[in-house]
Amino acid sequence: MKIITITIMILTLTFLVSAYYPGDTKTFTNEMQIDNLVYTIVGNTTPVYPEVIINSTNITIKFPIDMSPDSFKIVFIEEKTKPPNKSNRFWKF
């Protein structure tokens, strides 16, 4: 039983670690199924400027060819905007 559990854990963890290289283009399923997403890059030590194309079914990320080797996460969140609050529209000094 222990061997089966360890094997399942190793197989599961193998899919969690991914490596992408400069110039790579990767397409992922948009699990949120909305296209008004924004992203942020966290954990990087050098600037990263990927080209990101988002639609309601897929998210495509193209990593720049001149990207330095680094480790980071790309976090996608839903973009929500609020209309301006009329009471805060004018500032008094």
Report if residue 54 sits inside a domain: yes
SS3 70: coil
Report if residue 7 sits inside a domain: no
C-alpha distances (whole Å) from 42 to each of 24, 30, 54, 64, 86 are 19, 19, 19, 17, 35
Report if residue 49 sits inside a domain: yes
- The total number of structural domains that make up the chain: 1
Structural domain boundaries, residue 73: 19-80
- Residue 7 has phi, psi (to 5 degrees) of -60, -45
pLDDT tens, residue by residue, 55-90 = 999 999 999 999 888 888 888 888 877 666 655 455
Q: What is the mean pLDDT of residues 1-28?
A: 62
Q: What is the pLDDT of residue 83?
A: 64
Report if residue 9 sits inside a domain: no
Report if residue 63 sits inside a domain: yes
Report if residue 64 sits inside a domain: yes
Report if residue 90 sits inside a domain: no
